[in-house]
Structures are given as structure tokens and as C-alpha cells.
Amino acid sequence: MWRTLKHFLLFAVLQFGGFALNLTLLVHAQDQSGFISIDCGLATNSSYTEKETGINYISDESFIETNESKPYWSLRVFPQGTRNCYKINVTRGTKYLIRASFLYGNYDDQYRLPEFQLHLGPNLWDSVKFESASTVANKELIHVPLLNYIHVCLVDTNKGVPFISAIELRTLPNTIYQAQEGSLALDSRYPDDIYDRFWYGYDRDEWTQLNTSSSINTNNTYQPPSVVLATAATPKNVDDSVNIFWLPSDNTAKYYVYMHFAEVEKLPGNESRQFNITRNGELYSGLFAPKYLSVSTIFSLSDWSRGQYITLSIIKAGNSTLPPILNAFETYMVKDFAEPETNQQDGNNYWSS
């Protein structure tokens, strides 16, 4: 699971324990207002409903601003031009989860993984690299556009032809994931997750899993899905702490972490579960007891340390009879987009407006 840790922890939305999804239950429970789901390379005007999630995808044809592309097996390639953009209408001032997905799949029979850049307007969002031809690279951002549109751009860096498989936008409540500045980046679904965040299973050898078949009250700002909270990691050894750690990908990166807790066991009167949380050894959150079948989220109010390992430890309190638990957590890296979006038309030949 280290690969998962390294790859996803930095930007990711993670889930502990196994999946026990009952998708049918939720498919009709939520609507897709605020969702823009674009399947790049799909034939003009066509659309479809993806079976597992029930999400409606549409063709990217009306969003591309250049005609330098050609559709190919549900991805779109940009063999010409250094910079090619999608212009997508949004509601300015609204918080969006923006996800761009890339699956190479050796579509060109070249067996050469390309490498290129992804930009949001004038700002570098991330570099797109692949671990293999069959791995999906997901790039995600939480962003509040200042204009009524955004530009999602692919920039050729002479390391292969840029392409894109899908672009998805989901609106989030403005109260969720408050960063001090900039936009939040994550790497990780609907319909379990009303905001269509991606959650990944995560496990470590020294952990075991607690679970419940009851549903969990997830009614807080973050609304993590009940199925995600129904499982919790706990140390095999009662006195151990639950530790999660990662090395920041660059030493200027800033991270926000959200830990979600819910007690999944009905505790008898003589048992208690209480813990403290430390970050790199310093007390981060004092004595805490998760509520039975009800979510509590502990999050960082400001950014965290730079350039060194970040270790979070959930430590059993002295008088607690039970070991600590962690049901789910999310980490976000802060991206500083220095260029204002209003500059995004400067020096660009491809944008038509």
C-alpha cells in the first residue's frame, strides 16, 4: 500500500478499510445539479450515463477552443500547438472541485508515456506523468473562479503529445475546505459522496478494522459518506497509536488535513475510547471521544509544516480502555496561483474570447 500512500496521500482523499458499497441505495437520492461532466473525445453532441455512478457525461466538442484536436477512443489528443484549452462556463464566486483525468492506454500504439503540463488559466496546476499505460492520472483542485468561465489547458513540453480523457466539475458549499489563500489540490465518488470526492481504501499491517452495518450520521460541513465512515482503522496492539505520515512532495508545499471520526462500536458503560492527536509530536488536538454513529471532523485551521515528514499520531488517552480509531481522512496541498485569472488572455493565441 506504500504506492497508494505516496501517490494519494499528498493530494488525496482517502478511506480506511474495506468497501461495502450499496450503490443502488443512493443513486436516486441525490441530484447532479452543479455537476459538469465532460468525456473528452466523445462524438459531437453525444452523451451517456455511466452505469456505476449514474453520472451523465457529455462530449467535449463545444468546450474546445481550437480545432487542432481529433477525437480518439474517448480521449482527445492535441498534436498541434503548444497550449490548447477548454473554456468551461462556471458561476463565479462558487467553490468547485475540478478534476481532470488522463488514461493513456497506449492509444497511439507507441508504448511511450507522454509527459505534459496541466494549467488552470495562466497558472501551472500540475505536471501530468504516468506510472503505466493503464493507470489513470487524476488531478484535482478546489477552486473559486473569479470569472464566469475557466480555462483548462494542456501545455506541450516536448515529451509527447498532450491528451485528456475527462474533465469534471462539482460545486461545493463555500463553507467547506476553507484555505487561507490559494486553491486546494487533491488527488482521489458519487453517488455515495454527494460532492463526488474520490475515496481510496487504505490499510497498514499494524492496523485492524472495526466496522458497523448501521448508517452513520454524517451531517456536518464535510459530509463524508456513511459507507466510508462505517469502517475504522484501529491498532492491533491496544496501546499503540494510529499513525499516518507522509513526506511533502516539495518543500514549499502546505497541507490541510481533515480527519473524520465516528464511534462504530456500542461501548458498554465500563469502556471508553478517548485520545489525543499530535502532529510531529506536538499536541494538535486535546482529549477527544468519537460520538457513536455520528461524525466529528478535526481539521487544521492553517497550513502545516514545510519540507519535513508530517506525522499525525492518534494516541490513546491514559484512562481510555480502548485503542484509538480513525475512520477517514483527507489531505490537501495548497497551490498558490500567482497569476490572476483576469490575465489569462495575455499572450495566448488560442482563446477566442
Closest CA to 196 of 83, 33, 17: 33
Using the structure block, give the residue that is written with the C-alpha cell 499530535. 278
| Length of the chain measured in residues | 353
Is 219 an interacting residue with respect to ligand NAG (CB under 6 A)? yes
Cβ burial, residue 323 (10 Å; 0-12/13-18/19+)? buried
Please identify, using beta-carbon distances, which residue of 268 and 347 lies nearer to ligand NAG: 268
The stretch among 17-25, 110-118, 164-172, 337-345 that binds ligand NAG (CB under 6 A) is: 17-25
DSSP string for 103-131:
E-TTTTS-----EEEEEETTEEEEEE--S
Is 33 an interacting residue with respect to ligand NAG (CB under 6 A)? no
Please identify, using beta-carbon distances, which residue of 282 and 346 lies nearer to ligand NAG: 282
Residue number of the CB atom closest to ligand NAG: 286
The stretch among 20-28, 130-138, 150-158, 295-303 that binds ligand NAG (CB under 6 A) is: 20-28
Is 37 an interacting residue with respect to ligand NAG (CB under 6 A)? no
Is 349 an interacting residue with respect to ligand NAG (CB under 6 A)? no
Report the distance separating Cα 68 and Cα 84, nearest Å.
8
The Cβ of residue 251 has, within 10 Å, a number of other Cβ atoms equal to 10
Q: Which three cell numbers stand for residue 110?
A: 507507441
Please identify, using beta-carbon distances, which residue of 1 and 287 lies nearer to ligand NAG: 287
Is 171 an interacting residue with respect to ligand NAG (CB under 6 A)? no
Q: Give how far Cα 298 sits from Cα of 94, 107, 183, 284, 342, Å.
A: 24, 43, 20, 10, 35
**Number of residues binding to ligand NAG, judged by CB under 6 A:** 27
Please identify, using beta-carbon distances, which residue of 18 and 340 lies nearer to ligand NAG: 18
Closest CA to 46 of 38, 54, 35, 34: 38
Smallest distance from the beta carbon of 268 to ligand NAG, in angstroms? 6
Closest CA to 150 of 109, 118, 108, 111: 118
Among 33, 158, 175, 270, binds ligand NAG (CB under 6 A): 270
Please identify, using beta-carbon distances, which residue of 33 and 67 lies nearer to ligand NAG: 67
The stretch among 16-24, 49-57, 117-125, 158-166 that binds ligand NAG (CB under 6 A) is: 16-24
Collapsing DSSP to helix, strand or coil, 279 comes out as strand
Report the distance separating Cα 109 and Cα 106, nearest Å.
5
The stretch among 135-143, 178-186, 209-217, 291-299 that binds ligand NAG (CB under 6 A) is: 209-217
Smallest distance from the beta carbon of 247 to ligand NAG, in angstroms? 25
Smallest distance from the beta carbon of 257 to ligand NAG, in angstroms? 19
Please identify, using beta-carbon distances, which residue of 7 and 189 lies nearer to ligand NAG: 189
Report the distance separating Cα 308 and Cα 251, nearest Å.
7
Among 80, 180, 237, 272, binds ligand NAG (CB under 6 A): 272
Q: Which three cell numbers stand for residue 306?
A: 514545510
Which residue ranges make up the site for ligand NAG (CB under 6 A)? 20, 22, 24-25, 44-45, 62, 67, 89, 209, 211-213, 219, 268, 270-272, 274, 276, 286-287, 315, 317-319, 321
